[in-house]
Amino acid sequence: MKTLGLWLFIFGAGSFLLNVFGMEFRLLSWIDNWGPTVGIAIRVGLVVVGAVLWLLGNKQEKAAAASGGDA
């Protein structure tokens, strides 16, 4: 979960940065098909969901380490 969250965050944030320069990841080239507003919403969603998954995974990992590792 932590790794997936990290990748979603990276793709969302990277997509924002690339979009400023008129570029896009090939994997995410479909994002602006419905217009720039929806594209921004999808990018924000990727960043938020990625951050939440990463934080939850990090918390779960710490809890597993504290309880002996069998979580």
Tokens at 34, concatenated: 């419905």
Q: How far apart are CA 60 and CA 15, in angstroms?
A: 28
pTM of the predicted model as reported, rounded to 2 decimal places:
0.84
Residue 62: inside a domain: yes
Asked if the structure places residue 46 within a domain, the reply is yes
Residue 12, CA distances (Å) to 17, 66, 70 in order: 9, 32, 32
Does residue 71 belong to any structural domain of this protein? no
Domain-located, residue 6: yes
Residues 6+ apart with CB under 8 A from 40: none
Give the number of domains in the chain.
1
Query: Is 42 a member of any domain?
Result: yes
> What is the Cα–Cα distance from 61 to 57, expressed in whole angstroms?
6
pLDDT tens digit at each of 71 positions of the chain: 899 999 999 999 999 999 999 999 998 888 889 999 999 999 999 999 999 999 999 999 898 888 876 55
Q: Which domain range does residue 25 map to? A: 2-66
Residue 15 lies in a domain: yes
